């Protein structure tokens, strides 16, 4: 993403106005013409900035969108202790689904996951700065569950995480059916089953 220059050095300061105009233009254009139709030139034109300003701060259009997502969409999901593994899991899944219910956000996520497959460098940034954070949030819940002895045998936390996020992403990427309430129940069934 964009580096912040160390303070106290000469030269004009980075224009926050331009930065926001670029992020806004990028999201709007993605909604209007799709990720494939999004271009750096288009972002520059729409935001009233120069191409060089974009290239100076972001390495690719996907990074602009990732920044926009982090800046614009409030992605943070708190993981309050609901008192038990099943309740925690249910709460986490509910919060996550809510977040992903905005179609614009879904389209953005699909585009970024796609770009991550194609562009190796961006893929690393996407995994580190987005996917890992979501895994860590679930990880917290699983750590608590393990401490309580609630985790079913034969299902290490890593695999639970793979199953949870895997199912969500697969519905989005491969079936175009958005996750819903019913899926929460069924996932909880599968992941807490043996101990119930």
Partner DNA sequence: GACTAAACGAGACGGTACGTCTTGTCTTTCG
Partner DNA sequence: CGAAAGACAAGACGTACCGTCTCGTTTAGTC
Where along the sequence are the contacts to DNA (CB under 7 A)?
A: 5, 7-15, 18-19, 37, 39-42, 44, 48-53, 55-57, 60-61
Minimum distance, C-beta of residue 132 to DNA, in the bound complex (Å): 25
User: Which of 105, 114, 137, 178: binder of a copy of itself (CB under 8 A)?
Assistant: 114
Binding at 44: pick from a copy of itself, DNA, none (beta carbon under 5-8 Å per type): DNA
Closest distance between a copy of itself and the C-beta of residue 19, in Å?
21
Please tell me the distance from the alpha carbon of residue 43 to that of residue 48, in angstroms, as a whole number. 8
How far apart CA 119 and CA 110 sit, in angstroms, is: 14
Residue 11: its H or E element = none
- Per the CB < 8 A criterion, the answer to whether 2 and 19 are in contact is yes
| Distance from C-alpha of 109 to C-alpha of 34, rounded to nearest angstrom | 12
> What residues contact 161, with CB distance under 8 A and at least 6 apart?
135, 138, 139, 142
190 binds a copy of itself (CB under 8 A): yes
Per CB under 8 A, which region of 31-39, 77-85, 86-94, 136-144 contacts a copy of itself?
Answer: 31-39
Identify what 56 binds: DNA, a copy of itself, none; CB under 5 to 8 Å per kind. DNA
Helices (H) and strands (E) in the chain, counts: 10, 0
CB of 24 to DNA, least distance (A): 13
Residue closer to DNA, measured from CB, 20 or 105:
20
Which residue's CB is nearer to DNA, number 12 or number 74? 12
User: Given the rule CB under 8 A, which of 51-59, 94-102, 112-120, 143-151 is the region that contacts a copy of itself?
Assistant: 112-120
As a whole number of angstroms, the distance between CA 162 and CA 167 comes to: 8
151, 145 contact by CB (below 8 A)? yes
Nearer to DNA, 50 or 103 (CB): 50
Q: Which helix (H) or strand (E) holds 159?
A: helix 157-170
Residues that bind a copy of itself (CB under 8 A): 34-36, 110-111, 113-120, 127, 131, 152-156, 159, 162-163, 165-171, 173-176, 183, 185-187, 189-191, 193-194, 196
């Amino acid at each position: 993403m964009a580096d912040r220059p160390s303070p106290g050095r000469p030269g004009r300061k980075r224009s926050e106005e331009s930065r926001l105009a670029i992020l806004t233009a990028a999201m709007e254009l993605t909604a209007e013409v799709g990720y494939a139709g999004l271009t750096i030139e288009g972002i520059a034109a729409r935001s009233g900035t120069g191409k060089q300003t974009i290239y100076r701060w972001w390495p690719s259009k996907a990074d602009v969108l990732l920044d926009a997502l982090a800046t614009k969409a409030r992605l943070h999901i708190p993981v309050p202790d609901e008192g038990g593994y099943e309740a925690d899991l249910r709460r986490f899944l509910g919060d996550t689904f809510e977040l992903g219910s905005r179609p614009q956000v879904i389209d953005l996520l699909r585009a970024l996951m796609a770009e991550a497959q194609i562009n190796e460098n961006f893929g690393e940034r996407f995994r580190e700065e987005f996917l890992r954070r979501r895994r860590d949030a679930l990880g917290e819940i699983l750590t608590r569950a393990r401490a309580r002895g609630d985790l079913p045998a034969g299902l290490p936390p890593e695999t639970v995480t793979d199953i949870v996020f895997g199912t969500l992403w697969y519905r989005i990427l491969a079936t175009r059916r958005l996750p819903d309430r019913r899926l929460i129940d069924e996932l909880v069934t599968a992941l807490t089953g043996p101990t119930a």
